[in-house]
Amino acid sequence: MGKSPSSGLLIGLVITLAAVVLYSGYVTLQLQRLRQVQSDLLDRDRKDSLQLLRIQNDLNSIGLAMRDMLDSDEPYPLTAWTSQLERIRSDLEDGLRLEDQLAVASRTPEQRQYLTSSLAQFWDAVDRMFDLARQGKENEARAQIRLSLQARQAALSTAVARLLVENSEREEAAALTTREIYDRVERQGYVFLAAILLAILLTGLYQIRSNRQLFSRLEDLSQQRSDLAQTLISMQESALLHISRELHDEFGQILTAMGVMLSRAGKHAPAGSQLRADLKEVADIAQSALDKVRSLSQALHPVMLEESGLEATLDWYIPVVERQTGIVISYRKSGTPIELDAPMAVHVYRILQEALNNVARHAEVREAWVRLSFRPEALELEVEDHGKGFGARSSRQGIGLVAMRERAELLGGGIEFLIPEQGGTLVRLRVPMAS
């Protein structure tokens, strides 16, 4: 056995993790600074800009309302706009209050005072204008709109626009700071990345070398396991064949002789006597035992595989399983039958036998499907049931599945254990045919 690669891999892992930790700490510090820039400047300025846009939109709405109030074609008196301007005033004051809270860190007291006082003076002028309108002095009220209110509204819009420009400039400065942080992190990231990649490369090369040695040993073990499995399966088939022939030839002949002798003895007994009835009953028991011995002999190693081939054996075997288990098996064949040699036919038969035994023992169903397909390039065998799947079965069933896989490998094919759409189990064997 070679030296374990664990120590070398552990050293490489420690170096890689150390580099990752150092780089992660550096990135965390930079991200904290970046988060501070974003939360203190960018996010706050964006929210402040949204409120300024809200204020500017209200001011524009006031400007449109005043233009409509000055329109000589309007049939309404000036007082008709009172409720509209009150709604705008309420929204404007709310927006100004929120904007003042957001702008504390970046706005000078003079700027905040200017907006507050200018709006207060504007609304005082609006109130005076509506007082004139209520007194019936429409012309004087309109004159005040033209001479005072429109100018005040324009000045407020200009002031808000300047604040929006200042916010935009601060956002650009914050974005520049953010880009500098990103660039610095990127440059340092390349250094750390190079170190990490170097550590990973060295560790990977060492692991590749170790894996090649391990896989070489595994390949040898796999070949030995395959040879051992083939030997065990051959010994098993040889033992089953021997037992099958012993049952058929020895016990079968003994039971046959017993049946003949009992029948002959029964003929010499008086008709209607108890002795004759007992001899007939014993002869029937001997015949039943003979039938069971022959059935067991066929189950252990069907002679039909060697005499008639796989297809005829399955035609005989599947009805036998139906009688023994009470499961209705739908058997379907397709394609032109291919003559298989005896070892291949035995393996296919054993796989089918194990699959149907699993259905009978574990699936808890009354129906199953067997499909045998002969194709020029491959033989396919499927056994399907809609009962309990492999997840509901005991782990003891693993030996049978392992044996099925080993036989499939000996055939040079593959076997799959799938779950059909209706649930249950689908065993699919595919054996390539030699060209």
Three-class HEC string of 65-94: HHHHHHCCCCCCCHHHHHHHHHHHHHHHHH
In a domain, 218, yes or no: no
Domain shared by 198 and 308, yes or no: no
In a domain, 192, yes or no: yes
In the three-class reduction of DSSP (H, G, I as helix; E, B as strand; rest coil), residue 27 is classed as helix
CB under 8 Å to 73, separation ≥6 — which residues? none
Q: Give the domain CATH number at 415.
A: 3.30.565.10
In the three-class reduction of DSSP (H, G, I as helix; E, B as strand; rest coil), residue 344 is classed as helix
Question: Is the full-model pTM beyond 0.85?
Answer: no
In a domain, 238, yes or no: no
Is the CA virtual torsion 81, 84, 86, 91 positive or negative?
Answer: negative
Do you know the residue count of the chain?
Answer: 435
For residue 355, the model assigns a pLDDT of: 92
Quote the CA–CA distance of 91 and 61 in Å, as a whole number: 11
- Cβ burial of 228 (10 Å; 0-12, 13-18, 19+) is exposed
Domain shared by 202 and 309, yes or no: no
Overall average pLDDT of the 255-278 stretch: 75
* Final residue before a domain boundary, out of 207, 237, 258: 207
Domain shared by 195 and 308, yes or no: no
Overall average pLDDT of the 237-248 stretch: 67
* Final residue before a domain boundary, out of 157, 181, 207: 207
* Final residue before a domain boundary, out of 161, 182, 207: 207
Average pLDDT, the chain: 80
For the chain, how many structural domains are there in total? 2
Give the range of the structural domain holding residue 337, as residue numbers without chain letter.
304-432
Q: 106: pLDDT confidence band, cut at 50, 70 and 90?
A: low
Domain shared by 38 and 178, yes or no: yes
Domain shared by 181 and 52, yes or no: yes
Q: Say if residues 89 and 59 touch (Cβ distance below 8 Å).
A: no
In a domain, 243, yes or no: no
CB under 8 Å to 33, separation ≥6 — which residues? 181
Q: Tokens at residue 64, please?
A: 């449109």
Overall average pLDDT of the 22-36 stretch: 72
Domain shared by 65 and 184, yes or no: yes
Q: Which of 305, 265, 299, 303 is nearest to 283 (CA)?
A: 265
In a domain, 381, yes or no: yes
Domain shared by 180 and 320, yes or no: no
In a domain, 15, yes or no: yes
In a domain, 252, yes or no: no
DSSP 358-372: HIIIII--SEEEEEE
Q: 34: pLDDT confidence band, cut at 50, 70 and 90?
A: low
Residue 328: is its pLDDT beyond 90?
yes
Domain shared by 191 and 326, yes or no: no
Domain shared by 186 and 59, yes or no: yes
Which is it for strands 425-432 and 414-418: parallel, antiparallel or unpaired? antiparallel
Residue 154: is its pLDDT beyond 70?
yes
Is the pLDDT higher at 192 or at 321?
321
Tell me the pLDDT tens digit for each residue of 280-316. 777 778 777 777 776 676 666 677 777 788 888 888 8
Quote the CA–CA distance of 81 and 62 in Å, as a whole number: 10
In a domain, 352, yes or no: yes
Residue 183: is its pLDDT beyond 70?
yes
Domain shared by 172 and 58, yes or no: yes
Q: Say if residues 150 and 66 touch (Cβ distance below 8 Å).
A: yes
Residue 31: is its pLDDT beyond 80?
no
Overall average pLDDT of the 212-219 stretch: 83
